[in-house]
Structure 1
C-alpha cells in the first residue's frame, strides 16, 4: 500500500484537538458566525421575512356613507316590489334599470375590461333586453334571462376581439366580462319574481336581510373595526358577524307577520342566506381592491369603488331570492 497519505497520525491528532467548522467557501461548509454569534446574512433574512405590512386605516365617515347607500338601495328595491301591480311594472323596471346602470358603471370602472366603452354599451343593451323580457314575457320565466345574458357575454367578447390591443387582454379578462354581464342581468330577476306568487314578499324579506346586514356591518366598522379581517382590508369581523345575526333576526320577526307559507323559521333562513350573500360580495370587493393596490395598479374612481359592494350584494340577493322561492318556499 502507498505510504504518502497526507492524513498522517500527527494531522489526525491536530484535527481531533481542534474540531472547528470548515471555512466558508468549501462545499457543505457553513459560514462562520460573527462576534455576536449570528450568521452574517441572518439580519438580512430576518428583514426580508419580517417586512412590515402596511395596515390600511378604516375611515368611519366613509363606512357610514357606504352603509347608508346599501340601506337606501335595499329599501328602494323592496318598496318598489310591494307597490308593483299588473299595470305598474314599467315604473319598477325603470327604477331597476337605473340601478343596473349604476352597477354597470361601478363594475366597468373597477374591473377595467378591454374595450371598456363598447363593453359597457353592449351590457347596457343586454340589461335593457332582459328587463323587457321580464316585464312582457308570458308567463314570467327565468330561462330567457339566461339566454340574454349568454348572448350579451358573447357580443361583449366579440367587441373586445376587434382591436388588436384589446384582443390579448380579452383572453385573460373574460371572467371579469362575465361578472359584469351577470351582475347587470341579475336585477331583471326581480321583475320576473314580482310577477309570481310569493315573489314580492320574498323580495321584501331578502332585501331586509341584505340591507340590514350591510348597514350594521359598515356602522360597526365605523365604531369598532376589530378584529381586522386582513391588514390591507379596512373591515372588521365583528361587523360582518353582527350584521348577519341582526339581519337574520329581523327577517325572522318579519316572517311572523307575513302570510303562509312564511313562518319565523323560514324568514330566518331567507334572511340568513341574503345577509351572507350580500356580505360575501361586499368583502370580495374589498379584497379585490386590496389586491389591485398591492399589485400597483391604478386605483378605481372613488365613487365606483365604494358603490360596487352594495350593488353587487343586492344583485346576488336577487338571484338568491328567486332560488329560495322555487326551491325552499314552494
Structure 2
C-alpha cells in the first residue's frame, strides 16, 4: 500500500473532481441499494421486479459505459443469462445458488459462439470475452438476493444484507471524498480510512437489523454486517482500480465521450453490489446455521 497524503496546488483540481465523483458514487449506491432493499421488504415479487431492473441497468451501463467490443451480442447474452437465472431461482427457491450453475454452463459455449459470429469485425477478442463473462457472473450473482429472501427469516436477512452493503459503500465513498489517504494506489482516489469507516457502518447496520434473530444475536450481527461491508468496499476499490488502469478505447483511438463516460459510475456501483451478493449469502448462512 502506497502512502500518498500530500496534494500539490497542481493536483487540487483533480482532487476536487475525484471528491465529486465519490459523492456521485455514494448517491448512486444509495439509490440502487434503496431500490433493492425496498423490494425485499415488500415481498418476493417486488424483489424480483427490483432485481430485474437492476440487472437490465447493469447490462446496459457495463456494455455501453465501458465500450465492450461485441456489445450488441453481449446485450443478448446478458438478457438471456439474467432471465435464465431469475427463472431458475424462482422455480427452485430453496436450492441455493445450485440452479444457476446450469445457466453459467450454458453461457460458456454461447460466449464462444458470440465471438465467432462477429466475423470480420472480430477484434479485441480476449477483452470482449472477459468483460462479458464478468457481466454474466454478476447478473447471475444478483439473483442470489431472491434465494436469501425465500429462506427462513428472509424478510429480515435480505434488507439487512442490502443495508450493510449500501451503508458500507456510502460511508466509504463519502470518506474518500474528504480524505482519500493513505491510498492503495497513487492513481486511485481510494484510501484505507474509507474501508475502516465502511466496515464500521456495516457493523452498525448488522447490529441494528439482526439483533432480533437468535442465531445472530450479540456480536454475530455486527460481524456479519462488518464482513459484508468489507467485501463490498474492497470490490469497490477493485472497480476503481480497474477503471483507472484501463481505457475505454484501444490504443491509438479516441476514447468515447458523452453518455458512455457517464454510464461508467453506474456500472461500477451496480457491479460492486452484484458481486457482493454471493459473499453476503455465504456469510449469513454460515453464521445463522
Partner of 1:281 in structure 2? 235
Partner of 1:83 in structure 2? 42
Partner of 2:5 in structure 1? none
2: CA distance, partners of 1:241 / 1:166: 46
Please point out which of 68, 71, 81 is paired with 2:27.
68
Which range is displaced more, 159-168 or 314-323? Answer: 159-168
Q: Which has the higher helix share?
A: 2
Please point out which of 176, 181, 196 is paired with 1:226.
181
Partner of 1:177 in structure 2? 132
Could you state the TM-score of these two structures normalised by the residue count of structure 2?
0.84
Does the 8 Å contact 2:59/2:135 carry over to 1? yes
2: CA distance, partners of 1:116 / 1:138: 31
Deviations 1:234-288 (A, max 9, x none): 22332222122222233123332x2221213211221122111211221111111
Could you state the TM-score of these two structures normalised by the residue count of structure 1?
0.74
Superposed, 1:182-261 pairs within 5 Å as 182-256=137-211, 258-261=212-215
Closer/same/farther in 2, CA of residues 245 and 171 from structure 1, 3 Å limit: same
Partner of 1:327 in structure 2? 286
Closer/same/farther in 2, CA of residues 217 and 141 from structure 1, 3 Å limit: closer
TM-fit CA distance, 1:112:
4.0
2: CA distance, partners of 1:299 / 1:320: 34
* CA-based RMSD: 2.5
2: CA distance, partners of 1:252 / 1:220: 22
Please point out which of 218, 229, 238 is paired with 1:264.
218
Partner of 1:3 in structure 2? none
Does the 8 Å contact 1:64/1:218 carry over to 2? yes
Closer/same/farther in 2, CA of residues 143 and 171 from structure 1, 3 Å limit: same
**DSSP 3-state at the match of 1:234:** strand
TM-fit CA distance, 1:316:
2.1
TM-fit CA distance, 1:166:
5.2
Deviations 1:199-245 (A, max 9, x none): 33222222122111111111122222333333321223322221222
How many corresponding residue pairs? 272
**DSSP 3-state at the match of 1:77:** helix
Mark the runs of 5 or more structure 2 residues left unpaired by the alignment. 1-9
Closer/same/farther in 2, CA of residues 234 and 305 from structure 1, 3 Å limit: same
Q: Taking CA–CA contacts closer than 8 Å with sequence separation of 6 or more, which of the two structures ends up with the larger relative contact order?
A: 2
